[in-house]
Structure 1
Amino acid sequence: MLKDLPLLAVAIVWGSSYLTAKDLTVAGGVLALLALRYLISAAAMLPVLAIRRPRRPSRREIAVGTLLGLTQASVLAFETYGVAHTSATNAGVLISLTILLTPMLEGVIGRRFLPPSFFLAAVVAVGGVVLLVAGPGLRAPSAGDALILVAAVIRAVHVTLSGHLSRGRDFDTVTLTTVQTVVGAVLFTAAAGPTLGTAVSAYGKDQWLAVTYLALGCSVFAFLVQLWAIRRTSAARASLLLGTEPVWAVLIGVGLGGEHLTMVTLAGIALVLGGTAAGQRVEANVRREQQKPIGSVEWQPRVPEKMTGS
């Protein structure tokens, strides 16, 4: 479906961000990086909102945007700190658990679970992620692993809430995204404190280009597309598509980083893409069935039998 392509684009952009973010955290620290990323994002979104906003945002719209801003900022904080204290292998496996956690949470909230075949497809996709990142081998659990696991849970909550709170409502996607970026900018700027000035001084031309890419590509573009798509599909489907992120990270590493594909890596890619495709079909079929009006298919009123006298 065409609405799936923007989510795949987000997965590709996020997959390209690992090396960039890692280098920047070394140069200026985690909080400073997140503060600059959000400040640039907010600076880009506010003029757009001022130009195109057709009406004044409602209190509920601002409240929902603020809540989503808090959950999104929490995901990035736990994820960034987690990656700094664990292996990329463990981080890739743990964050991919969102593929399973999101449909479970969505089922609890909506009191309507997807069939087992969807979860089987999601398990296959997670298994593919394990193969993708298992080159150096899984490392013993650490504090960083716990942070990544928390990030996966919060990401599932964020994706589910994005759909549950905004779908079918007269909310503006640009407004919600702008509020999210402003919330993150305020939080991380306050948390970064003096380290923000140190990072600004330490960054050279290449670092500023990298921060700008993270802000405009991995934040503004990704947040807009993610929210736009989730409001038009299910959180489970969106999470499954975003779960292809490790595939693109590997392919980008091969194309730009000079890495080599192995048979295990190819098998992992095949499992992720195959599981994602199967899960998409299951979710689409379920959604079509749910949208059918009662009595619209293969239902005919019963004709009473002709009564005969005795």
Structure 2
Amino acid sequence: MNLTSHQLKLLAAFLALYLIWGSTYFAIHIAVTSWPPFLMAGVRFVLAGTLMYGYLRWRGAANPTLAELKGATLLGILMPAIGNGFVTLAQKEVSSGVAALVVATVPLFAILFARLFGHTPRKMELAGVLLGIVGIVVLNMGSNLQASPAGAAALLFASAGWALGSAWSKHLTQPKGLMSSAMMMLTGGIALLLGSFASGEQLAGMPPLSGWLAMLYLAVFGSLIAYTAYMFLLQHVSAAAATSYAYVNPVIAVLLGVGLLGEHIGPAELLSMTIILAGVGLIGWKKSPR
């Protein structure tokens, strides 16, 4: 079967989201062994946002207006800063696989927040939310989250922040095209650096090569490439298809955590992964037209 150029681009974008965003939990685990979490996340997003902004300006893109900058700043605080920053914080105590499982609840939170903006959930969406809540309860029965209530709270806060930003983004004035992602990463990164300073984070010493490589992987691949792929998919496929990474990322993260980090995933975690992903599947499921 011969694939068109457009189909190849779609395939590459899907693979980027599935593999790269699934592997970022592994990279975060490596990075936070030598970086303070908020500082590392702040440097990651400021670097990625600066590179993307510089490239877009070089290509002739206009600077955002004040109204667009306000919208991008709000989303930057909710999504990169809260949504990613608190995942990074939690991974000081919680395994990368379990972190990915909790973050898979983002579509569940998004359905709840969407009600604030006039969206009435379908019965399948409500069923998915309820199933996701059951999955979180089961996940909490496992040893990973029980050992770190603070880590569990940080992950749920991160998921809620990302979901609120996702729901709100459709109602906010934002910069056009990829400039929106650039401004979100820049403002979110600055918010994380301010949070790092306010919380008294300090580098214990110069990070080793592995710490620098993990941070750079997150900045270049996790932010620049994956964000670009995500924006491309949102323009060319349905939202349900674009957000299908929520099904795959936890599986990738669990496999990498077990295979490369020696993390332990017990029966409660495996059962919760099945339940949570089934809930996400119900949210994305739509009856085919006859």
Query: SS of the residue aligned with 1:211?
Result: helix
Kindly indicate whether residue 179 of structure 2 is the aligned counterpart of residue 188 of structure 1: no
Matched-pair identity in %: 24
Query: SS of the residue aligned with 2:146?
Result: coil
Distance, in Å, in 2 between the alignment partners of 1:137 and 1:205 is: 29
1:93-112, Cα deviation, whole Å (9 max, x unpaired): 54333221101211331x23
Partner of 1:179: 183
Q: Structure 1 length normalisation: TM-score? A: 0.70
Partner of 2:111: 103
Structure 2 residue corresponding to 1:71, chosen from 62, 78, 82: 78
Work out which of the two has the higher radius of gyration on C-alpha atoms and give 1 or 2: 1
Amino acid at match of 1:24: A
Structure 1 residue 212 displacement after superposition = 0.7
Partner of 2:222: 218
Distance, in Å, in 2 between the alignment partners of 1:276 and 1:245 is: 12
Partner of 2:255: 251
Q: Which structure 2 residue ranges, 5 or more long, are not aligned?
A: 1-6
Bigger shift: residues 179-188 or 134-143: 134-143
Change (3 A) 1:235 1:217: same
Distance, in Å, in 2 between the alignment partners of 1:106 and 1:228 is: 23
Kindly indicate whether residue 42 of structure 2 is the aligned counterpart of residue 38 of structure 1: no
Amino acid at match of 1:211: M
Partner of 1:20: 27
Structure 1 residue 57 displacement after superposition = 3.1
Distance, in Å, in 2 between the alignment partners of 1:119 and 1:136 is: 28
Query: SS of the residue aligned with 2:32?
Result: helix
Change (3 A) 1:256 1:24: closer
Change (3 A) 1:88 1:262: closer
Confirm or deny: 8 A CA contact 2:98 2:269 kept in the other structure: no
Partner of 1:164: 171
Amino acid at match of 1:31: F
Partner of 2:121: 114
Partner of 1:279: 283
Distance, in Å, in 2 between the alignment partners of 1:130 and 1:88 is: 19
1:48-107, Cα deviation, whole Å (9 max, x unpaired): 111223444333322222221121212222222233245667645543332211012113
Amino acid at match of 1:74: I
Distance, in Å, in 2 between the alignment partners of 1:141 and 1:260 is: 15
Structure 2 residue corresponding to 1:58, chosen from 65, 84, 102: 65
Structure 2 residue corresponding to 1:152, chosen from 128, 146, 159: 159
Distance, in Å, in 2 between the alignment partners of 1:266 and 1:186 is: 37
Change (3 A) 1:98 1:173: same
Partner of 1:204: 208
Confirm or deny: 8 A CA contact 1:163 1:230 kept in the other structure: no
Amino acid at match of 2:171: H
Distance, in Å, in 2 between the alignment partners of 1:37 and 1:47 is: 16
1:5-38, Cα deviation, whole Å (9 max, x unpaired): 8467434323212232223222121132123212
Distance, in Å, in 1 between the alignment partners of 2:259 and 2:98 is: 23
Partner of 2:36: 29
1:109-141, Cα deviation, whole Å (9 max, x unpaired): 1x2323111332455567668778976465166
Confirm or deny: 8 A CA contact 2:14 2:229 kept in the other structure: yes
Distance, in Å, in 2 between the alignment partners of 1:192 and 1:27 is: 15
Q: Which structure 1 residue ranges, 5 or more long, are not aligned?
A: 289-310
Distance, in Å, in 2 between the alignment partners of 1:90 and 1:211 is: 21
Confirm or deny: 8 A CA contact 1:160 1:235 kept in the other structure: no
What is the aligned residue count?
A: 280
